[in-house]
Structure 1
Amino acid sequence: MIDLSYDFIITLQNEVLRQFGVDNLQPNQCKHLAQAILNQTGKLVSETTLKRVFGFAVTQHSFSRYTLNTLAQYCRFKDWEDFQAHYYKKTLRPSAQTDHSRWADVKKRAAAISHYTLLTLKNRCGVPFDHTVPRQYCLSHIERFLESDYAATVFIAPAGWGKSMALVHAAEHFWFGRDPVYQQDICWFINAHAAGSLLVKGFSLSAWLDNQLNLGNGENFREYFSTNTHEKGGRLVLIIDGFDELAMGADKLKMLYNKLEDFVYSNDQHPWVKVILSIRSGTWGDVFQQSTQYPAFRRYWYLGPEMDEETNTNIPLLTEQEVKSVLYNCEYEPATVRLFSESFLQKLRHPYYLQLFCQLSSTPDQSFVDENLSLYEIISKFILNRVFNSPNNTFKIKIIEKLLLLLDMGRDGLYTDKSKLLNQNADLFPAYKELLADNILVEENLSQEIMFNVKVRFAHNFLLEYFTAMHFIQQHGSELSEELVQTVINYFPQSPFRISVLKWLLRYAITNDQVKGIQYIFQQPLNTVGKAHLLEYVVLHYQQEGNHQPQLSRIFPPGYFRKNPISNFISDDFIHFKKRKMLNTLLGMAESPEDKLKIRCNLFVMALMQLDAEQCEVELASIKKLCMADETVMAMWINPYEAFLFIYEYLKFGIMNEAAREKIYHYAQCWSFPEKQPFTVSEEAVYRAICFIFLLLGDPQQLLNFTQRLFKEHPSILFNRTDPFRLMMLCWKAQAHLDTGDITSAKRINTHVERILKQYNTDFFNGRHLETLQKIIAAGIYYRESDFNKAIRAAESAMDMAQKLDFKIFSLLNYGVLNRIYQHLQMDKQKKDALQKIESIRESTSFKQALPHFL
């Protein structure tokens, strides 16, 4: 690292760039710059050294005089001394605005060093620094600290949490920006290596500060300005970034901490001297936390309101708004970002995952970036960087394998004892510390006075899923065989965890072109939701690759979907705008008329929910051809085409086909001789359409009668708790109870649906339309119970989801509830806004029927 006495490094950098003919240097240009320097001076400065000079790599020592002399000579000066003398004279030119005070002199020295540190950290940022955003919590944390009596504060978090970038933004906000908050403060921003390189040589921070003032022997920096307060401009803030035991070594780090602690405690009489650190959680636990038992530590150190003593973290993850701001800076369109699910945005709140996502998504201007695929790529890249590419990878894998065995691949819980994991094996300690530092593993200290109890777990469940899948692959010779797949199926009960492990196996098979392995997975007896998730992953992966049809044809050869109908894979969970592209791909692979009808009906319902009349008309034409070609379908009391046509004509032209209406209202005749077999694709489409029809016609009693009769005639659907169609029918039944005044029954059903959706939320990763409808009904129930606060919260939450899904029918239904609430509470402004939004929806569709019964 740059020696702290060099005040002209930034000037030297700028002069070298001017001589080289560029405004900003990129890492790949260092090689050409080295050649230019060699050509002009006859001296070699290596590419690596230049990267250190310009902050693209961390340096743990001062620059050599040879390097500085050569760069000065490249800039047409005799040597480094001549360069400094020239620019020192320029800075001393008389000016009425020049501040010649000692405080200003130190401030200038500090700025030179700090600017270099800032440049180094910016250049090491995983994404362009101007794409990052200040973190409001960190700014508030520092502001509270500066205004307090505490002498020191610290940012504690695992690697990749964004500590360094948070300090850079804070330094620019408070001290080095265009309009800094504290313009009179002195801020020294250095890397821990810089401080460490001095302190191990015998220096102390106090002596170093004294040297910066050039007061002469025996004079003290802090005492001088405490005595001469008229010369002191503000605070002196020392920021030290990068306390890391892994990089510095435990002994060196402890020496540095001891000297730092002495300095902090000696500032008791000098409250204007402040220290700010950043440190990894593991290092904090091993070195710093030892002092927390002393009252003095808490008196001097400010840890902030977010301090978690168990995980040693005091910085929260990025807020959702901060994530979105970074995505916007990376040129993602706001419309695209709004499509991301809450679950995916929650994962992107981890700064390192957000960085990897921005790096992986090379075409951010596309209409939609599939978050499911991106998540798996982010995790894979994260593990590759932090585990497999590490010098200690052998020991890391050994620890992870031991943890998997202790957890029984997750079947025996998520935690194990640290003592069992390491078993006093000293060879594993360095690798274990790296796993903690890199946020692969997490320690939770539950120790008490009489008992040592430290638990260890994977930092995230998806890491457990990944390493579990890789464990089975390694056990079976890296070949996704039928035996391997059956082992996984038998080892884990039916659950979202098992599906996630199978997805990792799928990804491995796809990456290694093991087509047989993919086929083995789809031959297993999995539930509909599980098969749907796996099929979706395969189709999405090959869609991203471009020409997907040949690859998919290898996996699913002709005849495959006759034996394994696509209609068994597709549920109401596929009524989602993100699924449209995949459904169209599956349509090209479908072989049976029933499969094609299932897909077309889903596409029609999607277009209907979005009030897209033109797309409804396209799908309706295809549904008509499929129905006309099937005698069984045409023999139905009312077929899907007739039911959907009735909806289309009513919304488009405001007319009702009386013959179809009679059939719909006399639906019971088709159940005269009920069969207890599961209903067909055509029947399901008709049942769904009838619910929409009664809703549109404003006939809740008929809707109630229909749903009650449906569950009576088809009792088998009652036993499949996670079937999205069942839950949708239950929602319509609850809506009917609500509209007919039976609040108790509506509440009982709605509470049951809510409980199912929460319990099996992973199964319904994309099925937000069910959750949206459930919340709309809940808002109506709260309104009828006069619990208006809950009613507004539920309705506004439902509105947010409906707008993200672009389901305008739900938006109108929900606006109807909100409108009644606002009217009752005399919230005229909100009511007016709601009516304007209703009108904007009506104007956006050629379905000119105004859906009056929703309002």
Structure 2
Amino acid sequence: MSSLIEEQKNQNTISLTNDIHKVALNAKQITSYTLQNIRSRCSVPYELTIPRKFANHDFNNFYASEYSFTALIAQPGYGKSILLSHLVQDIAYANDSIYAKDILCYFNANDIFDSDTYQSSLEDNIKSKIGLTQDTDLIQYFDEQYKKSTIRLILILDDFAELILNRYTKNKVFDRIVDLISAIGESNAIKIILSMRSTTWNLFFERIRHAHFLKRKWFPGSYYYLDYNSNIPPLSEEELEHVIEKMDPGNFEKISTNLKSQLKFPFHIQWYYRLKEQYPSFNFYTNFVFYEIIYLFINEKIFSSNYSTEKVLLIKQIVKLSDNSKKGTKLLKTDLMYHISNYKNAYLELLADGILMEEKDFYDSYPLEFVRFIHPHVFEYFLFKELLELHQHQMDKAFFEYLNEGHFSNEVRFQLLQWAIRQLIILGNLKNIICVFTLNLTNYEKNYLIYFIAENLAYRSLHHPEILKQIEQQNFHKILIHELVHFDFVDSCYKDAIKCLLIVANNKEIALFYHSILAIIDCSSFDQSKIAIRLEEMESLKDAQINTIFNPYELVNLIYLKLKGTPVSPTDVTLLKMEQFKENNIELNVDDRPFPLPENFIEYLLIILLNTFYGTQRNVITIVNVILSHYPKLITTRNSFSIYLLNILALANSRINPGKKTDQMERIIIKIHENKRDKSTLYAQSLLLLLKAQQKKNKKEYNEVISLAQEGIIIFERNNLFMYEMFMYNLLISSYTELHDFEKVNYFNSTKHILLENKKIPLLFLEYIDFT
């Protein structure tokens, strides 16, 4: 396409004339060629790109001002040419454009500067391109046009990166630009827009830094940030949504907040698009995608580029001089000069490609030059590679402990852990990922990393199905299942990780385990359609050989029937077995284990949940005591399941048997949550909120009840835990009833019944939820 455009352009000769109409036609032809060239070179289909609102706003301000020139400044890959192309179409081609009569000429820098010597004046080159005779004074000509018809010349000079320049010729080009701006002087008939990379602008600005008149004629734009040498802001939320909707209609809301914040930098959009094109069936909505974007960028701009070896060696030196990030990621240029001189071409390309940047800071009025990575994630990748080399490429427990020991900032530490996990998955060394879970991680970090692992596995399995064999051979699901029994139902990462792990579940037993966890969440939501879909997915798995007394499918099905209002026979096999369970007539621990197996944890959670629909609060106490009688070590151990049992036991006692024993249990639970070593989950904390609210209700501390209940409703509504949301509404209703505030009673009763109707739940009596 580019060659066709070039050929077409060469076939068009400009006839020299001073006729304003012919000049306008020539300018329009040049602009059209430039726009076609931009379309053909766009890194994503051009129709997926969008205009930027800020650019139109800044242009309007610039056009109406006394400034002579402005510049769009940003690192490579930030869409300067695309941005200009949309701006040009709005200015020159839109039917309602207020600039329609102006002459806009959009040049590629290669087309306006003579590449042999750069000796010709920019004014002469422009005249020859737009068809003015050489004896015509460009500025005077357009001054006259402006006075006569208010026609202005808008010159846009783009793509300076395409000019092959050394220091001498670069200064020549800058001098030609400065000469033109100086010649324009105070004239308001010509406006110039430059488009430059940050490094190029730095050099150009040095040429005008001490020229007061030139600085006075420069419009910096609304978003100029000196620290970043850029005036192109990230995409707004609205702009990003517009781009993603063009690329992947209807899925913008699925993209995680963190990934959205990265995609707001136009630089990342092209890599996101490439991934979507390569794997169209995969849902690229979460944060792991960003690591793939960064790796694609590093691979193309460093590993597969010119001077790749030299670039890697130079970056290694930068990482070493930073003392593996302990001294920060910004280094004095003087400290790097030896390595820069050794790898000069590599260094210049790293600057030109937007990997490194130079910046000046002033200390005691003395300027110091620094070099830093533009994208910290690129630095973190090479830091990871350097640390891996220091540990002889052994990603074992010692390596992960080193990453986690506090040598790095918390953010860098967490990024390094993710690069390490990604590398282990690529190598197929899944068993070593268990080292991550021996670290002192918060529950959020643990959930996030499990999700990160799950997404990486699902992504790699698309084109590398051998990873499924590696998962099976290394019993990797069992490793992950062991880490999932903390049941953090309030953390979206926990739920999403399990959904993702289902994609790579390699047998019925594993799949049933994951579905059973999700079924608990579905049942707690009281969402009949979700539960029906879950049952459909579980039906083919119900014959899986699992070490449980109850079949999870049957337990979930009974809950579903109750929510639908479908009668269940009292002689139902599962319900009869439940009675045996409550009477402690079933041996739960045949192998005399200290703790239940993961599948038993899930089974007991489902049994307690089933009791919500078919039992009483007294039954809850019975069920918990039966479990503890078979696993007495749970009483003295602080793990997620034992904390859950204690909370459920305390809550049931608080409802039917409040008193000193219940108060004691509440104090124990609060102490557990305050002890950082126990790392209580968000879900456990929300259950404590239920207990506190009920305890305050028992003590008639109504203001506290109302506050806790309202806080709980927000949490449970956000996480679609409708069962607990109803519990809080009932506390509000009973509290306001005792306060004789019947207006509030009616309001919350009405709210509750509307919510139930929306869930299509028939009126039924549940002791725990109390729908009456």
Normalising by structure 1, report the TM-score: 0.68
Q: Once the 2 structures are TM-superposed, how far is the Cα of residue 259 of structure 1 from its aligned partner? A: 1.6
- CA 587–698 in structure 1, closer or farther in 2 if over 3 Å, else same: farther
- CA 662–313 in structure 1, closer or farther in 2 if over 3 Å, else same: same
- CA 597–393 in structure 1, closer or farther in 2 if over 3 Å, else same: closer
Residues 567-626 of structure 1 show CA distances to partners (whole Å, capped at 9, x for unaligned) of 45765146655334334357656979xx97687245412553373465178386355789
Which runs of 5 or more structure 2 residues have no equivalent in the other structure? 539-551, 557-573, 590-595, 732-747
Question: Which one-letter code corresponds to 1:519 in the other structure?
Answer: K
Structure 1 position 677 matched with structure 2 position 636: yes
Question: Which one-letter code corresponds to 2:58 in the other structure?
Answer: H
Aligned to 1:579: 497
- The secondary structure found in structure 2 opposite 1:615 is helix
Structure 1 position 662 matched with structure 2 position 627: no
1:524-539 residue pairs with structure 2 within 5 A? 525-527=438-440, 529=443, 533-539=448-454
Aligned to 1:631: 588
Question: Which one-letter code corresponds to 1:582 in the other structure?
Answer: C
What is the rounded CA distance, in whole Å, between the counterparts of 2:374 and 2:175 in structure 1? 31
- CA 583–395 in structure 1, closer or farther in 2 if over 3 Å, else same: closer
Deviates more, 1:625-634 or 1:524-533: 625-634
Question: Which one-letter code corresponds to 1:493 in the other structure?
Answer: E
Aligned to 2:229: 312
Aligned to 1:471: 386
Structure 1 position 379 matched with structure 2 position 294: yes
Residues 436-455 of structure 1 show CA distances to partners (whole Å, capped at 9, x for unaligned) of 33332344432246423334
Residues 460-480 of structure 1 show CA distances to partners (whole Å, capped at 9, x for unaligned) of 332233112222445567xx5
Structure 1 position 486 matched with structure 2 position 398: yes
Structure 1 position 333 matched with structure 2 position 249: yes
Task: Tell me if the contact between 2:152 and 2:191 (Cα under 8 Å) persists in the aligned partners.
Answer: yes
Task: Tell me if the contact between 2:356 and 2:371 (Cα under 8 Å) persists in the aligned partners.
Answer: yes
Aligned to 1:500: 415
Task: Tell me if the contact between 1:282 and 1:436 (Cα under 8 Å) persists in the aligned partners.
Answer: yes
Task: Tell me if the contact between 1:640 and 1:686 (Cα under 8 Å) persists in the aligned partners.
Answer: no
- Percent pairwise identity: 20
Q: Once the 2 structures are TM-superposed, how far is the Cα of residue 741 of structure 1 from its aligned partner? A: 5.7
Q: Once the 2 structures are TM-superposed, how far is the Cα of residue 368 of structure 1 from its aligned partner? A: 3.5
Task: Tell me if the contact between 1:643 and 1:686 (Cα under 8 Å) persists in the aligned partners.
Answer: no
Aligned to 1:172: 89
Residues 345-376 of structure 1 show CA distances to partners (whole Å, capped at 9, x for unaligned) of 00111112111111211288758335244222
Aligned to 1:645: 610
What is the rounded CA distance, in whole Å, between the counterparts of 1:600 and 1:488 in structure 2? 32
- CA 705–241 in structure 1, closer or farther in 2 if over 3 Å, else same: farther
Task: Tell me if the contact between 2:451 and 2:500 (Cα under 8 Å) persists in the aligned partners.
Answer: yes
Task: Tell me if the contact between 2:495 and 2:518 (Cα under 8 Å) persists in the aligned partners.
Answer: no
1:440-479 residue pairs with structure 2 within 5 A? 440-448=355-363, 450-474=365-389
Task: Tell me if the contact between 2:357 and 2:371 (Cα under 8 Å) persists in the aligned partners.
Answer: yes
Q: Once the 2 structures are TM-superposed, how far is the Cα of residue 416 of structure 1 from its aligned partner? A: 2.7
- CA 835–236 in structure 1, closer or farther in 2 if over 3 Å, else same: farther
Aligned to 1:119: 36
Aligned to 1:147: 64
Question: Which one-letter code corresponds to 1:130 in the other structure?
Answer: E
Matching residue within 139, 157, 160 for 1:243: 160
What is the rounded CA distance, in whole Å, between the counterparts of 1:233 and 1:421 in structure 2? 53
Question: Which one-letter code corresponds to 1:719 in the other structure?
Answer: R
Task: Tell me if the contact between 2:154 and 2:191 (Cα under 8 Å) persists in the aligned partners.
Answer: yes
Task: Tell me if the contact between 1:151 and 1:275 (Cα under 8 Å) persists in the aligned partners.
Answer: yes
Task: Tell me if the contact between 1:110 and 1:186 (Cα under 8 Å) persists in the aligned partners.
Answer: yes
Question: Which one-letter code corresponds to 2:20 in the other structure?
Answer: W
Aligned to 1:407: 322
- CA 214–325 in structure 1, closer or farther in 2 if over 3 Å, else same: closer
- CA 234–723 in structure 1, closer or farther in 2 if over 3 Å, else same: same
What is the rounded CA distance, in whole Å, between the counterparts of 1:685 and 1:599 in structure 2? 20
Structure 1 position 708 matched with structure 2 position 666: yes
Which runs of 5 or more structure 1 residues have no equivalent in the other structure? 1-26, 28-47, 55-61, 69-79, 89-99, 650-656, 751-772, 781-794, 818-833
Residues 174-222 of structure 1 show CA distances to partners (whole Å, capped at 9, x for unaligned) of 1123543411010010011122227945332333455567665643233
Q: Once the 2 structures are TM-superposed, how far is the Cα of residue 131 of structure 1 from its aligned partner? A: 0.8
- CA 849–401 in structure 1, closer or farther in 2 if over 3 Å, else same: farther
Question: Which one-letter code corresponds to 1:418 in the other structure?
Answer: K
Question: Which one-letter code corresponds to 1:518 in the other structure?
Answer: L
- CA 381–233 in structure 1, closer or farther in 2 if over 3 Å, else same: same
What is the rounded CA distance, in whole Å, between the counterparts of 1:694 and 1:233 in structure 2? 85
Q: Once the 2 structures are TM-superposed, how far is the Cα of residue 126 of structure 1 from its aligned partner? A: 0.8
Task: Tell me if the contact between 1:694 and 1:700 (Cα under 8 Å) persists in the aligned partners.
Answer: yes
Matching residue within 211, 214, 221 for 1:294: 211
Residues 38-58 of structure 1 show CA distances to partners (whole Å, capped at 9, x for unaligned) of xxxxxxxxxx8447447xxxx
Question: Which one-letter code corresponds to 1:257 in the other structure?
Answer: F
Task: Tell me if the contact between 2:160 and 2:195 (Cα under 8 Å) persists in the aligned partners.
Answer: yes
What is the rounded CA distance, in whole Å, between the counterparts of 2:667 and 2:760 in structure 1? 34
- CA 413–169 in structure 1, closer or farther in 2 if over 3 Å, else same: same
Residues 74-118 of structure 1 show CA distances to partners (whole Å, capped at 9, x for unaligned) of xxxxxx78xx99xx9xxxxxxxxxxx9932221111000000001
- The secondary structure found in structure 2 opposite 1:410 is coil
Structure 1 position 847 matched with structure 2 position 764: no
- CA 814–677 in structure 1, closer or farther in 2 if over 3 Å, else same: closer
- CA 561–226 in structure 1, closer or farther in 2 if over 3 Å, else same: closer
Q: CA RMSD in A?
A: 5.0
Task: Tell me if the contact between 2:31 and 2:105 (Cα under 8 Å) persists in the aligned partners.
Answer: yes
1:785-796 residue pairs with structure 2 within 5 A? none
- The secondary structure found in structure 1 opposite 2:616 is helix
Normalising by structure 2, report the TM-score: 0.75
What is the rounded CA distance, in whole Å, between the counterparts of 1:694 and 1:443 in structure 2? 66
Structure 1 position 600 matched with structure 2 position 556: no
